[in-house]
Amino acid sequence: QLLAFDDGVELTQESQIMGTLHYMSPEQAAGASSKVRFPSDIFALGVILHELLIDRIPLAAEFKSASTLEEHLKCIRDTVPKPVSDTFAALPDAVEIARKRGTTADSLRDEIAPELDHIVSRMLEKQYSRRYPNVTAVKDDLGDYLAGMPTAGSQSRNKFTLERMRYAAAIMSTACLLATVVASLFGNSHFRAEVGKTQRPSRLAKSKKLASEASVDHVERSKLPELKPRAGDIPPIPLVTSHSPLTGEKQTDPQITPDSPLSIQLLESAASLEMEFKPIQPGTFTGWLGNKPTEITLTRPFSLGVHEVTQDQYERLMGINPSRFKGANKPVTNVSWFDAFEFCRKLSALPAEKAAGNIYRLPTAAEWEYACRAGTKTDYSFGDAHSDLATYAWYKSKSNATTHSVGSKQANAWGLYDMHGNASEWTRDWHESSAWRAHYTGSAVSDPSGPVFGPGRVVRGGSIFSQAEHCRSAIEVIGVPSKSFDDGGFRVALTAGPLKLPESADALGMKFEQLPAGTFNMGHGDTQHEVTFSKPINMGVHEVTQQQYQRIMGYNPSIFNAKDNPVDNVSWEDAVEFCQRLSALTAEQTAGNVYRLPTEAEWEYACRAGTTTAYSFGDDLTQLDNYAWYRKNSGGTSHPIGSKQPNDWGLHDLHGNLWEWCQNYTGPYTSSAITDPAGPPTGSSRVIRGGSWGRLPISCQSAHRGRLDPSVFNQYLGFRVCLTTSE
């Protein structure tokens, strides 16, 4: 066990010197008791991470030459350790250290990237004020590093400090996460078993235990620019105009107190939450997309929430109320785009909604504006006169700087309340920006859903902090999806079931290659072992696309928005459900076909395609660009399936694009030959393979292993399927 503390116990108290000398912070070594607070524990965790990575504590050589206690303390106070990568490069036993981790010294040096150097160095800063302010910030950067995203560098995340009572539990969670860093880097099952396991929950707290870990929700989210106003004729508009010295930004972690109501009610349906929806018929209107007036046609009916989601509704489903301005019937605020997305996901999973095939989601920007206008062509849904706005909206000069109960102003002509003002509202779309990629030309479009990616998500409607002109129907601003705001909320759209399913996998355009039975060496180095497959394997040629996923599941959960890109933001549980639903299609049942995730052994066999080299194309790293989307060439997004060369067995994107879930639990390899392996019978994490658009080349190697809790979903995770026939 790496660390063990009692829940709720403060790790380092003022005026206290505790633990091993070399894990002591500079302020402890200086006897500055008034400064011994949270950052002292961050420093100790930095020492642990440094040691886990390269088997050396920081300043090990300097400590070895120190002969007295005072010399040791002076070293802690004054000597700045080198970056962990530099320390590792100078170690005489670097090769042996790497071998113990199941890799080579060169590969280990590659994986200790500048981002990881920055994380460790910041944790070990001599000035406590320059360290991470809290464990949440450490988790965010570690999570982004594990996912292959650049870390924030010296940029502060500007989140408020967590409550002191939650800190010990958070430290424990981070200690486990430190172990995960090493396990993920080296893929060595023995080392993983030695340092213990971790879970990185991707959903909001479901219990008091999970509440202390809620800060790792969406740990692998994108880092995007700060809020920017739209260009063109629309004047610059801040999403939040704060009425106090504080900015509108708030942390997304719930503020838990000992008597917070954390139990989540057992709900059957959206009706249990007293949510009301208005059916919206198809139609054509002139709206704003990509900073251009555009003729937009919506070809499909949908329903939109009559009101913004209230604090009572949010708390009953999610177990927390993050809003600053409390009131059961006020709109929930201080929710990030990810939080709103998760609310919709949980709402869709309620028993009655799932049985009915109802899918709850955020509206697209076009749907939102169409519903807001309610058939009008004027600045507001009621006309052009600012003087009439107070009848319909809570905005800056009328709100008294607080949100108000939903429905307390007049509805628009379609019966929708608060489309102007009260809380600004997240939509599904990425914002169009010429700095990213041109998506709309200004010509007529049907059912637009935004660009593949962008600088942020579209936010609509204005708020209690907005001027009257900023509550107009066409106004949109950019919201960083990982951030939340005092005045930022959402409403929900409904696509009613039942879903019209395709007849078969063929109707989805899914292709499979039959791989021959055979024997290969799985793993690399000391982990290599012989695996035999006694039967052919039918492996998906491509990762499952967003369009294919949506036609089976009824929704597209992807962060990147493009029908031919692989579906992302799916958990192992989601991938398994897709396979089950695909197997249940009429033609597939008749044929006796069963779709499933590949086992880890099947995946590596398919990836290698008969090769024994680091990649399916050989060992020449310069060729990777021809076969994979990875950190160097991806541009920060996934890409359409099949846009890189296939391996020798005709399979695409087994290197890069998205990590792919495998069927089996994670566990140590067997040391002997094995036939048709199915993986360990039990475990807590599932295997992921292949690397992603955000990872380094080493993660894309044929033998590289990753693991995650099966409930985790993010923009780096997708899957492909195998087909088992009745023949």
Within the chain, which residues score under 50 in pLDDT? 1-19, 153-172, 187-263, 434-438
Three-state SS for 137-180 is HHHHHHHHHHHCCCCCCCCCCCCCCCCHHHHHHHHHHHHHHHHH
Which of 87, 96, 73, 65 has the alpha carbon at shortest distance from 22? 73
**What tokens appear for 86 in the block?**
């530099």
CB atoms within 10 A of CB 386: 15
Query: Bridge-partner residues for 495, per DSSP?
Result: 359
Q: How many whole angstroms separate alpha carbon 495 and alpha carbon 356?
A: 11
The number of residues in the chain equals 727
Class of domain 275-495: alpha beta
Q: Specify the pLDDT at position 130.
A: 83
CATH number for domain 506-724, candidates 3.40.50.2000, 3.40.640.10, 3.40.50.720, 3.90.1580.10: 3.90.1580.10
Q: Specify the pLDDT at position 266.
A: 72
Q: Specify the pLDDT at position 184.
A: 53
Q: Specify the pLDDT at position 218.
A: 27
Q: Specify the pLDDT at position 702.
A: 98
Q: What topology does CATH give the domain 21-216?
A: Transferase(Phosphotransferase); domain 1 (1.10.510)
- 506-724 shares the fold of 21-216: no
CB atoms within 10 A of CB 48: 18
Q: Specify the pLDDT at position 11.
A: 35
Spell 225-236 as b/e; 16+ CB within 10 A means b: eebbbbeeebee
Q: Is 468 in a helix, a strand, or coil?
A: helix
**What tokens appear for 296 in the block?**
């937009």
Residue 383 is given by DSSP the state B
Q: Specify the pLDDT at position 661.
A: 98
Strands 717-718 and 659-665 come out as parallel
Q: How many whole angstroms separate alpha carbon 88 and alpha carbon 95?
A: 10
Q: Specify the pLDDT at position 19.
A: 43
Q: Specify the pLDDT at position 290.
A: 64
Residue 245 is given by DSSP the state S
Q: Specify the pLDDT at position 492.
A: 99
The residue extents of the domains of the chain are: 21-216, 275-495, 506-724
Which of 94, 85, 58, 53 has the alpha carbon at shortest distance from 178? 53
CB-neighbour burial class of residue 501 (10 A; exposed 0-12, middle 13-18, buried 19+):
middle
Q: How many whole angstroms separate alpha carbon 102 and alpha carbon 525?
A: 7
**What tokens appear for 339 in the block?**
């939080």
Q: Specify the pLDDT at position 489.
A: 98
Residue 456 is given by DSSP the state S
**What tokens appear for 223 in the block?**
């880092």
* Chain segment 375-426, per-residue pLDDT in tens: 999 999 999 999 999 999 999 999 999 999 999 999 999 999 999 999 999 9
* Chain segment 580-614, per-residue pLDDT in tens: 999 999 999 999 999 999 999 999 999 999 999 99
